[in-house]
Amino acid sequence: MGAKGLTRRAFLAASGGVAGMLAAAGTDGLLAQRAAAAEKEGVEVSPAEDLMREHGVLRRILLIYEEWMRRLRANQVSGAGSLAESAGIIRSFIEDYHEKLEEEHLFPRIRKVAGLTDLVDVLLRQHQAGRRLTALTLGICVPQALTSPASRGRLSDSLRQFIRMYRPHAAREDTVLFPAFHEMLQEEEYDALGEAFEDKENELFGENGFEHMVARVESIEKRLGIYDLARFTPSQ
């Protein structure tokens, strides 16, 4: 990929002391090591990689939602703050930032590609449906509401529908939308959009916004006991 997509994140990583910031936030060793490497060498992040890393944050929250569905079935509703915080990250980082970038910069261009207009229509409708589900989730996941079986059922339905929609949604964007977007742009325009994405991220979340968001998700996973990756490996 060469110098494609060297964004402001690389400069921030190279100059901003990310490793120290993450260590101070109590983030685990691997992330701090990665940040330290970025500080030393600088990191190239293309626009598509940027969007796909944000999908990684989304997927980790889908795992948190699954854990909450399990807890709701078992009527374990203490600590609902972790669910509200997760839905809040979906609202601010995915819906009001990531999806806005897709809607403003990718969808209008991809609509002009033969054969992909229908895909854009579906993706846009799914963003709208996702926002409705997140509003519902945020409205119900308060401790008082969770004492009612009917509310727990509605919350569980909302989480299930969100997970069911966003797994194929993100997978289709990763494998069809983002490659088509990359292919149709000149290198200069592609790089310039990477810069624009970074500017927006810094404006909304401050420097190292992505790393902060990953650290918040990691902290929620630890509170729920689902952070240890090895627990997902089959025993045999």
Shortest CB 169 distance to Fe ion, Å: 6
Distance CA 217, CA 236 (A): 29
Shortest CB 166 distance to Fe ion, Å: 8
Q: Which residues bind Fe ion (CB under 5 A)?
A: 102, 173
For Fe ion, the closer of residues 140 and 193 by Cβ is: 193
Residue type at 92 in one-letter notation:
S
Shortest CB 205 distance to Fe ion, Å: 17
Cα–Cα nearest to 57, from 6, 97, 14: 97
For Fe ion, the closer of residues 59 and 160 by Cβ is: 59
Cα–Cα nearest to 198, from 22, 12, 56: 12
Q: Can you tell me whether residue 28 is helix, strand or coil?
A: coil
For Fe ion, the closer of residues 39 and 173 by Cβ is: 173
For Fe ion, the closer of residues 131 and 222 by Cβ is: 131
Q: How many residues does the chain have?
A: 236
Shortest CB 127 distance to Fe ion, Å: 6
Q: Is 114 exposed, middle or buried (0-12, 13-18, 19+ CB in 10 A)?
A: exposed
